[in-house]
Amino acid sequence: MRSIKVGIVASLMACLQTVAVAAMGQSYRVSDHWTIGGEGGWDYLLSDDAAHRLYVTHGPRVEVLDTTTGKPLGAITGLKGTHGFALNPDGRTGYISDGGANQIVVFDRSSLSIKQSVTAGTNPDGITFEPVTGTVWAFNGRSKSVSVMNAASNTVVATIVLPGKPEFPQADGKGKVFVNIEDKSEIVELDAKARTIVRSWPLNGCESPSGMAIDRELHRLFSVCDGGKMGISDYAAGKLIALAAIGDSPDAAAFDPKSKLAFSSNGEGSLTIVDTKKAGFPVLQTVATVKGARTMAYDATTGRAYLSAAKYGPVPAATAAIPHPRPVVLPGSFEIVVVSR
């Protein structure tokens, strides 16, 4: 009888744990759609949590939204082909990687006016601010390098050659910068003070890494890859420690330090939520979003994810010049998909 009772109690505890995990995992949903409209493609988004602002790349301009209402606050215009953002801790200055112009664009966060445009490498894409050295790191996709800009003088002080095509970077806040190398399926670690490559490590089983998120407390990096995988690295040890299952065609990752959840926005039309507290990094939930919504920003103060999306027309006929054409974005359909608890 005693062994039966113990077994029943153990089964009940397991069931309760399963229910708790399921309840936690099923707590996210698409809560809103904010229509932006207009024309043009898009790339990364960035949430300025403290200011309740969302910066959204949109072709030759940047849309700025109020995250409390979803209403537009203005736009930064006069650009050529925007990719990503970085914010200065001074609360006044921001930076845009304008890949079409091969420039780092410095802007005023209050007036949304451009202060200066600084020449970088070819097609700057991922960009981040490194606080120990007060520098902006713009990773150049086509020239396979990183332009390091002094934020005090807005001058490029170094260009570091990389072993392959860089994608999204993260700074650890202690003088190190990490970046995914897409065509090598590896991570490169850079020393911000020495402005040199420290080391790199392979992401075996994680092909073509793009978006990257960081857990600065446990020294982890989350790289989203083709083939439905998220590569989880211990950046203190410099090695891949796990692979988690995600959706297909991802391009952005996020991490919530409060809940210890990692997010992957997937072009198939899903948002994968991974529990990083548990062994094996299980998927807590897969939220249906919108097909093509593969870039994302995360607001840690509200626990909301923002994804760029649009409606598409038919795929054009293939040509010799464009053998694999993409479907045409329908004018006026560009929007932000809001996912919240």
What is the pLDDT at residue 133? 98
Question: Which of 202, 220, 240 is at the close of a domain?
Answer: 202
Q: In the listed set 202, 226, 248, which residue is the last one of a domain according to the structure?
A: 202
- Whether residue 7 lies inside any domain: the answer is no
Digit-coded pLDDT (tens) for 207-216 = 999 999 999 9
Please give the tally of structural domains in the chain.
2
Residues 261 and 335 in one domain: yes
Query: What CA dihedral angle connects 49, 50, 56 and 62, to 10 degrees?
Result: -170
| 197 & 214 share domain | no
Sheet arrangement for strand 186-191: 166-171, 176-181, 186-191, 196-202
Query: Do 156 and 32 belong together in one domain?
Result: no
**Which residue range is the domain that position 125 belongs to?**
78-202
Q: Which of 143, 175, 202 corresponds to the end of one domain?
A: 202
- 240 and 277 inside one domain: yes
SS3 of residue 25 by DSSP: helix
- Output the pLDDT for position 19: 46
Q: Specify whether 331 is located in the same domain as 271.
A: yes
State the pLDDT at residue 312: 87
CA distance linking residue 165 with residue 145, whole number of Å: 8
CA distance 125 to 258: 29
Q: Are residues 267 and 331 in the same domain?
A: yes
pLDDT of residue 39: 87
Provide the pLDDT for residue 328.
Answer: 83
User: E strands along 3-134, which residues?
Assistant: 29-35, 45-48, 53-58, 61-66, 72-76, 82-87, 93-98, 103-108, 114-119, 124-130
pLDDT at residue number 1: 46
- In a shared domain, residues 136 and 196: yes
C-beta separation of 90 from 119 below 8 A: no
> Same structural domain for residues 231 and 253?
yes
| Mean pLDDT by groups of 10 residues along the chain of 341 residues | 45 43 66 94 96 96 97 97 97 97 98 98 98 98 98 98 98 98 98 98 98 98 98 98 98 97 98 97 98 97 97 88 85 96 94
Tokens of 314: 């038919």
Q: Are 87 and 48 in contact (CB under 8 A)?
A: yes
| 244 part of a folded domain | yes
Count of CB atoms situated within 10 Å of the CB of 157:
12
* Residue 287: inside a domain: yes
Residue 195: name the closest of 125, 241, 133 by CA.
Answer: 133
CATH code (residue 223): 2.130.10.10
Tell me: do 339 and 226 sit in the same domain: yes
pLDDT for 15: 43
The structure tokens listed for 127 are: 């960009």
Q: Give how far Cα 163 sits from Cα of 144, 171, 209, 301, Å.
A: 7, 19, 14, 36
How high is the pLDDT of residue 5? 47
Residues 194 and 220 in one domain: no
Q: Judge whether 20 lies within some domain.
A: no
* 124 and 218 both lie in a single domain: no
Residue 16 lies in a domain: no
pLDDT on residue 23: 47
Which pLDDT tens digit goes with each residue over 179-195?
999 999 999 999 999 99
Let me know if residue 62 belongs to a domain.
Answer: no
Whether 258 maps to a domain, the answer reads: yes
Q: Do residues 119 and 218 both lie within one domain?
A: no
